[in-house]
Each structure stands twice: as C-alpha cells, then as structure tokens.
Amino acid sequence: MFPLTVDAAKRAARALRESLSSADLASLTHAQALETLAHTLGYRDWNTYSAALRTPRPLTTVPVLRSYDSRIARRFYCDYLGFEVIFEHRFAPDLPLYFRIARGEIQLDLSEHLGDGTPGSGVWIATAGLDPWYRELRSKDHLTTLRPAIDRSAPGGTTLQLTDPFQNILRFCEPSD
C-alpha cells in the first residue's frame, strides 16, 4: 500500500534507502530516496508528491454488510453482480470470514462476524452506467428469482434495488442532476 501522509512517505523513503544500502545495491541520500519514491508512484518529484499528500481527500466510506456464508455471498456478489474480491481476512481457519469486494469505484465489506453489520441493512450506492449493468444482470440465468428492475422515478435518481441473500438491501442509484 502506498503512503497516505508525508510522514509515512518519509518513513517509506528511509526504509527504501536502508534496504538498498543493506543489500549493497545502492547508496542513496534521504533526498534521493524521497525523489525515487515519488517517481515510483508516478509523481514528477518529491515536492509534487508531498503537496498531493497534503491536499485534503474526500472521506471514503465502505459499508459493512452481514453475510452468513461466503460461498453464497461470492455467488451473489461476484458471479451475479460482477464484483471482485479485494482482500479476505480470517483470524483462524475455523473462524468467520471478513472480505472486501469492489466493482469499479464501488466497495463493500462483507462479514460473517456476529455484530458486524445488521442483517437487513440498506445501503444507497451512487453509481454510473446503470442501464448497461441492468441489461447484463437481466441476461443472466443465475438467480432469476431476483428479477431486477430499474425505478426511474426514485428520489435522488434512477435506482436499481436488489436484496442480497442475507436480506441486505442494495440501492444502486444514478444520481440526477
């Protein structure tokens, strides 16, 4: 994961310098390590990168939805809705699974842990390109009992509402201007 603060970036550059020097690959000054880190992440130079790190970013919210069975969750979210698993976490092989899924900019966390999320929760998810996605969903034989429909008169914009296998309500909305 890339550094999100100036201090974290400086620590990463210091670690890079120490790693390279301990491997006898190169001898970098701290300034050279900062420049190398910035270039590695696609920035012109350290000043540009550190300015980007200081610029306020919008808060990212990822809803946590309760699930009971990861196989059923994957079938619905990945096979049917087209999400991809970003990461998975279990404290031990016999303990509940927590995982993050994404489709484009949309991210959701699914948890089998008691107390994470409330079954039957509803989430409103701003999205774009609802019509092509709707056609994709309607073309699938899989889970035909859902019979997804678009509501073009919903408050806030065109909305596709689905209920997942755990009774969580997903409202994908293309906000109106």
DSSP per-residue string spanning 52-73: HHHS--PPP---EEE-S-HHHH
* 169 phi and psi angles, rounded to 5 deg: -100, 125
Whole-angstrom distance, CA of residue 5 vs CA of residue 55: 10
Whole-angstrom distance, CA of residue 177 vs CA of residue 175: 7
Whole-angstrom distance, CA of residue 110 vs CA of residue 162: 16
The answer to whether 68 touches 131, Cβ cutoff 8 Å, is no
User: Tens of pLDDT along 85-104?
Assistant: 999 999 999 999 999 999 98
User: Has residue 2 got a pLDDT over 70?
Assistant: no
Q: How confident is the model at residue 43 (pLDDT cuts 50, 70, 90)?
A: confident
pLDDT at position 122 is 92
Q: Which CATH class is domain 64-175?
A: alpha beta
pLDDT at position 145 is 62
The full set of domain ranges for the chain reads: 6-54, 64-175
| Average model confidence (pLDDT) across the chain | 84
Whole-angstrom distance, CA of residue 102 vs CA of residue 127: 12
Tell me the Cα Rg of the chain.
22
pLDDT at position 3 is 57
Find, among 168, 78, 68, the residue nearest to 112 by Cα: 68
User: Tens of pLDDT along 58-68?
Assistant: 667 899 999 99
Please state, for a pLDDT cut of 70, what percent of the chain lies above it: 88
Note the pTM of the prediction, 2 decimals. Answer: 0.66
More confident residue, 168 or 29: 168
> 151 pairs with which residues across the strands?
159
H or E element, residue 158? strand 157-163
Query: How far, CA to CA in Å, does 53 sit from each of 13, 50, 57, 62, 121?
Result: 14, 5, 9, 21, 34
Cross-sheet strand order for the sheet of 84-89: 64-66, 106-111, 98-103, 84-89
